[in-house]
Amino acid sequence: MSSENHRPAVRLAFLAIPVLLIFAAILQRKIDASTGALQQQKPELLLRSGTMLKKLSLGYDSLLADIYWTRAVQYFGARAGQPGATFEMLGPLLDIATTLDPKLMIAYRFGAIFLSEPAPAGAGRADLAVNLVKKGIAANPDAWRLYQDLGFVYSIHLKDYQKAAEAYLEGSKNPNAQIWMKVLAASVAQQGNALETSRLIWAEVYATTQDGLVRRRALEHLEALDAEIDLKQLNESSEDYSRKFGRYPTTVQELRDAGLAGGKLQDPAGYPYVMGPYGVPRLASRSPIVLEPDQKKIPH
């Protein structure tokens, strides 16, 4: 066949490229056109094969990856914090985006947080978060921050402190890694998810992320952990008060008057702590801070 005969086919192929990209965008817009429509969508309607899309993209992998990454963020944002919200499509969307662009670091780090966070803040699928981050490590072996994310998921959500310590330690071997990776490895190995260790982990997430949603969620955890540390110190002061006076204090002011108030007397949101029954300190009812599920009970 002559070159002249090839030209119409070539022109047709180039014309098909923008059509393909427009189709992908329309498809995803239909999927997440509105919160109500998203709640009714069946997950199997999503084209899940990132490998197939990569072949169809005809070299426009990065553009399609950006489309799917944007869809993932919008999909998550439409549901985050809503009672009964589910995130079945978050994992597939992030998987497709990172298959199309294996260097899309923000997608791996976003998935590490919000795939593992329990509902209604996330998908509650720490297993998917681990798989996504490991996929990122395989594609980006020099990206030491992905080891930070892997250690985070293992420590905070899976409570597998040996694997968490191994992830932090492996990441610390990268010559560009920060020294605190070794600190985290040692701390997790020795203390598990002690409050101080959890706070250190979330503080590094807060300090190193460039994603606004991740940063806000990390700050919420930091405030909850700071409040829990304060309450723990106040509870110890309450025990000291009981040993000294033969009864538990009824107010935090009694602790202060006795010179036994250890730690801060206000939570990170600025609300004074209050004293509950049997001298157990707690958050004020108006405080916006929400303690973690495993932090709500203080042993007496």
Alpha-carbon distance of 69 to 90, in angstroms, equals 10
**Domain end call among 101, 120, 151:** 101
Where among 37, 67, 101 does a domain terminate? 101
* Residue 141 resides in a domain: no
Q: pTM of this prediction?
A: 0.73
Mark out the alpha helices in the chain (DSSP H runs).
3-31, 35-40, 50-56, 61-79, 90-100, 105-114, 126-139, 144-152, 161-172, 180-191, 195-208, 212-245, 252-257
Bridge partners of residue 266, in order along the sequence = 272
Domain that holds residue 241: 228-295
Q: Within a domain: residue 246?
A: yes
* High-pLDDT (> 90) share of the chain, %: 62
User: What is the identity of the amino acid at 168?
Assistant: Y
- 3-class SS of residue 155: helix
Q: How confident is the model at residue 50 (pLDDT cuts 50, 70, 90)?
A: low
Q: How far is CA 80 from CA 67, 84, 119, 235, 259, in A?
A: 20, 10, 9, 34, 44
b/e map 141-180, b = 16+ CB within 10 Å: eebbbbbbbbbbbbbbbeebbebbbbbbbbbbeeeebbeb
For residue 73, pLDDT beyond 50: yes
How many structural domains compose the chain?
2
39-48, 111-120, 159-168, 260-269: the lowest-pLDDT one: 39-48
Least confident stretch, 65-69, 272-276, 292-296: 292-296
Mark which of 76, 101, 126 sits at the end of a domain: 101
Higher pLDDT, 261 or 205: 205
* Tokens of residue 156, six digits: 């905070």
pLDDT for res 39 = 44
Burial of 206 (C-beta count, 10 Å sphere; 0-12/13-18/19+): middle
Q: What is the pLDDT of residue 217?
A: 93
Could you count the other beta carbons within 10 Å of the beta carbon of residue 9? 10
Domain presence at residue 65:
yes
CA distance 97 to 63: 10
Q: Under a CB-based contact definition with an 8 Å cutoff, are residues 182 and 189 in contact? A: no
Residue 144 lies inside a defined structural domain of this protein = no
The answer to whether residue 148 scores a pLDDT higher than 60 is yes
pLDDT at 37: 43
195 vs 296 pLDDT, higher one = 195
Least confident of 3-17, 110-124, 221-235: 3-17
Strand partners, 274: 282
**Residue 261 confidence class, pLDDT cut points 50, 70, 90:** confident
Domain assignment present for 35 = yes
Is the residue at 136 inside a domain?
no
pLDDT, position 7: 54
Residue 297 has pLDDT above 60, yes or no: no
pLDDT band (50, 70, 90) for residue 55:
low
Residue 214, pLDDT above cutoff 50: yes
Q: Which two tokens stand for residue 125?
A: 């699928």
User: Considering the domain boundaries, does residue 112 fall inside one?
Assistant: no
- Mean pLDDT, rounded, of the chain: 83
pLDDT band, very low/low/confident/very high, at 57 (cuts 50, 70, 90): low
DSSP state of 154: I
Q: What is the pLDDT of residue 4?
A: 52
In a domain, 135, yes or no: no
Q: Cα 234 vs. chain centroid, distance in angstroms?
A: 30
